[in-house]
Amino acid sequence: MIENQDGAGMIRKGTLHGVSLSPFVRKVRVALAHKSIDYELVNVMPGAMDPEFLAKSPLAKVPVWEENGWTLPDSTVICAYFEHANPEPALYPSDPRELARALFWEEYADTRLVDASSPIFFQRVVHEKFFKQPADEEVVRRHLDEVLPPVLDQLEKLFVPTMKNAPLDIATVSVWVQFVNLEHAGFELDAKSWPGLAAFLEAANEHDVLRTLVEEERAAMPA
């Protein structure tokens, strides 16, 4: 039995390894806040190759969750673990088809959406604000003009209709965390071109848990 759990198997506290601006770390932080699990955030950069971290994360990715020496990598796995250990309040739908829908959109956000959006964030935020180097504006332009719009079209046509009156769930969180990084990079969604997606993001940004995390991140961003 893990010391951070009670007799019912509920997680009480732990350590989250990663950086707050990682969308995958942000996803886990939303789950932690949603389920009122206490934790310490230990800064570890993605791609850390020291042997101690690789023993916790064989793919050298963040986040990693730790409870008294027991470690678990990968945001998808970590959030699913939280749901099973602390089922209330739920972050995953109980209906089998709705659960399948949510898991698909989590996977979509973690792959196709992040591939389309992360180069914009890396150039405009990591390069410019943290490394103090000029952004490669050709990379930014190509993703803004060519790579990202088809993804936004798919979200508008296929994702948004499934989210009507939906509560906060893993699909909402997984898509939202990627757009936070785009907003940090100065991206503004065209509400005329993608009105449903714009309304979805506006509603998500009003959620107390999500809004609090974004405010914290913006306060810590370098000028």
Whether 34 and 57 share a structural domain: yes
Residue 214 lies in a domain: yes
Write the CATH number for 145. 1.20.1050.10
* Confidence at residue 165, expressed as pLDDT on a 0 to 100 scale: 66
Provide the number of structural domains found in the chain: 2
Whether 216 and 121 share a structural domain: yes
Residue 4 lies in a domain: no
> How confident is the model over 125-130, as a mean pLDDT?
93
* Confidence at residue 166, expressed as pLDDT on a 0 to 100 scale: 64
Which range is least confidently modeled, 8-12, 17-21, 141-145?
8-12
Residue 212 lies in a domain: yes
* Confidence at residue 6, expressed as pLDDT on a 0 to 100 scale: 46
Single-letter amino acid, residue 126: V
Measure the CA–CA gap between 5 and 25, rounded to whole angstroms: 22
> pTM here?
0.93
Strand 38-42 to 64-67 pairing: unpaired
pLDDT tens column, 80-116? 999 999 999 999 999 999 999 999 999 999 999 999 9
Long-range contact list for 209-214, CB < 8 A, 24+ apart? 209/30, 209/33, 209/34, 209/168, 210/30, 210/173, 210/176, 212/33, 213/20, 213/26, 213/29, 213/30, 213/33, 214/180, 214/183
Write the CATH number for 52. 3.40.30.10
Whether 107 and 215 share a structural domain: yes
Residue 106, judged by CB atoms within 10 A of its CB (0-12, 13-18, 19+), counts as: buried
Q: Which domain holds residue 57?
A: 13-85
Residue 77 clears pLDDT 90, i.e. is over it: yes
Contact 78, 72 (CB under 8 A): yes
Whether 68 and 161 share a structural domain: no
> How confident is the model over 75-79, as a mean pLDDT?
98
Residue 179 clears pLDDT 70, i.e. is over it: yes
Contact 67, 14 (CB under 8 A): yes
* Confidence at residue 223, expressed as pLDDT on a 0 to 100 scale: 75
pLDDT tens column, 132-177? 999 999 999 999 999 999 999 999 999 999 886 667 899 999 999 9
Q: Which residues neighbour 143 within 8 Å (Cβ) at sequence distance 6 or greater?
A: 116, 117, 119, 120
* Confidence at residue 220, expressed as pLDDT on a 0 to 100 scale: 86
Residue after which a domain boundary falls, among 43, 58, 85: 85
Whether 48 and 148 share a structural domain: no
Whether 52 and 126 share a structural domain: no
Mean pLDDT score across all residues of the chain = 92
Q: Which residues neighbour 139 within 8 Å (Cβ) at sequence distance 6 or greater?
A: 119, 120, 123
Whether 138 and 45 share a structural domain: no
